[in-house]
Amino acid sequence: MDGAVVERDLVMDLLLSPGHGVPVLTRLQYRADDPFAVRIVFHADAAAPVVWTFARELLLEGTFRAAGEGDVRVWPTATGAEHELNILLRSPDGDAFLRTRAAAVSVFLGRTLDLVPPGTESDGTGLTRVLDALLNP
């Protein structure tokens, strides 16, 4: 299915030590033709961007409570009035601990759920909704 993509550019803080982070430009991406997955694209100083792919459900659950047991872990925190989302990515090359505004991720997830509602990822309903959205703007 072509063209059905939800994207959200945002800055995540790459936490290097307690209280010290470096802003990193990222893009959250969701494609209706791969309805179970979300991607975080890092625009690093490399020949090609670095992409992490994991379950949309994991990111959704992680906005409410700690989720994930493997290479990707997600959990919310609140510092005063600010709600943030923590993402830990683990690889053989090292770990990346990221933090971003929970509201920005929630808006992104809401748009993915509008495009392909939970439970419809594999029954064709997502395709029907995408075609309807493209044909009836």
Each residue's pLDDT tens digit, 73-107: 999 998 777 899 999 999 998 899 999 999 999 99
Residue 137: pLDDT band (50, 70, 90) is low
Q: Looking at residue 1, what is its pLDDT?
A: 43
Kindly report the three-state secondary structure assignment for every residue of the chain: CCCCEEEEEEEEEEEEECCEEEEEEEEEEEECCCCCEEEEEECCCCCCCEEEEEEHHHHHHHCCCCECCCCEEEEEEEECCEEEEEEEEEECCEEEEEEEEHHHHHHHHHHHHHHCCCCCCCCCHHHHHHHHHHHCC
Q: Sketch out the chain's domains with CATH numbers.
A: 5-135 (2.30.31.20)
Q: What pTM did the predictor assign?
A: 0.81
Q: Looking at residue 43, what is its pLDDT?
A: 79
